Amino acid sequence: MANLQVRDIDDRLYEALKRRAELEHRSVSQEVVLLIENYLAHDMKESEQKTLRFLELSNSWMDDRNSEKIIKEIRSSRTKNTRSKKEDELFD
The 10s digit of each residue's pLDDT in 62-82 is 778 888 999 999 998 887 766
Residues of the chain with pLDDT under 50: none
Give me the pLDDT at residue 92, please: 52
Residue 45's alpha-carbon distances to 17, 34, 35, 57, in angstroms, are 24, 16, 15, 19
Q: At a CB cut-off of 8 Å and minimum separation 6, what does 17 contact? A: 28, 31, 32
Give me the pLDDT at residue 91, please: 61
Q: Is the pTM of this model over 0.75?
A: no
Give me the pLDDT at residue 90, please: 63
Give me the pLDDT at residue 83, please: 63
